[in-house]
Amino acid sequence: MANQAGQGKHVIIIGDGHAGVAAAVRLTDMGYRVTVVESNVHVGQSTSGQATDASQHTLMRMCTNQTDLYRRLGVIRDIDWHKTLYFTGSDGLIDELTGDDLPAPFHLTRGLIAMKRFKWKEKLAIFSGFLAALQVSRAAREQLSNENFRHWLNSIHQDERIIDKFWSPIIAGACNQLPEQISASYGLRILQEGFLLSNTSYQLGFSKMSRAEFYKRAEEVVTKGGGAVLHRVSADRFDYDVDSKRVTGVHLTDGQTLSADAYVTALPHLRLEDLASESMKQADTRLARLTEIEDVPILGIHLYFNAPQGHDTMRRSHLIFTDGCVRWAFAKGVEQGGEYDGLHHIHVVMANADDYDEMPDEQIIQAAVADMRKAMPGITNAVTLNTAHVVREKRAASSPRPGGKRYRPYPSGEIDNLFVAGDWASTGWPTSREGAVRSGYRAASALHEYCTQGDPVKNVNNLLIPDVKPSALYVAMSG
């Protein structure tokens, strides 16, 4: 596709997030004039310097499209990649899972053997679990979309302790849900593409950039391409022509009405449900069942500790908790300047965020710190909590539940100039930032096909970045 393929065409994108940014960047690169409408101002910190992100920006090497977006935004150097995954638990035992140069799918074998919290019988069971996942073909995987992943793990004789101590932390880290809460097809995809097909695809990347920097770079790309980002303004409704089955404009809460050649919605599904008129829902099957999509919350805590000079409270970049109320902990370093100068900043993400919906912040903080003292050797008696801030995102992502795939809409539909993006849209991936970026790229591809008289259905994946290339041994052994 030529860079100027969209010359003269105007596109309105409602909502940003990773899906909206992905669509905006790709369309801008192709020469479209893009206007992004976003009600939020993404600052990443409050005016006092308090961090406001609920979850850490993480990705795996298998996330090829998310990596591509960061490269296009010029922030790929802000990603720290790690070959070692660190596990901990209430016993305080730190396990390191590191890959090596053995060809995939055997690159994690020596790392698994070295893990101390599992007996030999349990390690053999984990190996057999990986091998069972390897044997599931893509077609067979999709046939498991209505089954939950814990049921599949039970079917291959994984006992409850292994599921809780090994498989659950891996799955929860990838999609913020436990094995019993996600479709088996998604769980298998995480194992196959994240841990088996390549000896690098499991590696974790941690972003040093704030949410503010991410959106700043995105706005720079859009405005350099002749577009604009409208802040602190919300879409109120679509203007829709019933006869032509086309969106004719977007009405904003400040009284403006914007019109364009095509429109991308990167809104949460319930916001789109509010904006779409009944006539739009009747005309387009994508809009008819938006309320059937379920959401999952994310609960994060930013903790600031007093510690003796020279003491390292975390000692590692991250920790994956195998039990307790904390799911992940991320080392944010010692704060320099401002209200928190000299304090040790640790960001934790809580497990099972639904369980804390009605719990007071102080009680949540106490539970998290109690777990951290058990599981993190660096949180000694000499380390005391100075302050902490709970960040709740009640609708952080859509649920990758069994059977939920049938509600996830395709980028294009009966309203031919309206395109849908979001981590809740149809991508074949569980809800994640990678899935959100893929949805944005797919919406951009479908929109481009529409504007150039192409095929928005057949060519919807034209802009996607290829998946990580599997090793020859993986191909020979896989189902």
Q: Does 43 have pLDDT greater than 50?
A: no
Give the torsion sign (CA, 389, 394, 397, 403).
positive
Is the bond into 105 cis (omega within 30 degrees of 0)?
A: yes
The structural domains of the chain, with segments of one domain joined by +, span 10-43+210-293+402-451, 100-199, 295-398
Q: Does 181 have pLDDT greater than 80?
A: yes
| Torsion, CA 224, CA 226, CA 231, CA 233, rounded to 10 | -170
With cut-offs at 50, 70 and 90, classify the pLDDT of residue 50.
low
User: What local confidence, expressed as pLDDT, does residue 147 receive?
Assistant: 96
CATH 3.90.660.10 is held by the domain 295-398: yes
**Distance separating alpha carbons of residues 385 and 370, to the nearest angstrom:** 11
Q: Does 185 have pLDDT greater than 60?
A: yes
DSSP state at residue 268: -
Average of per-residue pLDDT across 164-172: 92
Instruction: Between 304 and 210, name the one with better pLDDT.
Output: 304
* pLDDT tens column, 264-275: 999 999 999 999
User: What local confidence, expressed as pLDDT, does residue 431 receive?
Assistant: 79
Instruction: Between 414 and 428, name the one with better pLDDT.
Output: 414
pLDDT-wise least confident of 4-8, 179-183, 328-332? 4-8
* Buried-state track 374-406, b at ≥16 Cβ within 10 A, e below 16: bbbebbeeebebeebbbbbbeebbbbbbbebbe
With cut-offs at 50, 70 and 90, classify the pLDDT of residue 54.
low
User: What local confidence, expressed as pLDDT, does residue 51 receive?
Assistant: 58
User: What local confidence, expressed as pLDDT, does residue 47 receive?
Assistant: 37
CB 166, CB 26: distance < 8 Å: no
Amino acid 377 reads P
Mean pLDDT of the chain: 91
- Classify domain 10-43+210-293+402-451 by CATH number: 3.50.50.60
* pLDDT tens column, 125-157: 999 999 999 999 999 999 999 999 999 999 999
Q: Does 365 have pLDDT greater than 90?
A: yes
Q: Does 41 have pLDDT greater than 60?
A: no
Q: Does 1 have pLDDT greater than 70?
A: no
With cut-offs at 50, 70 and 90, classify the pLDDT of residue 192.
very high
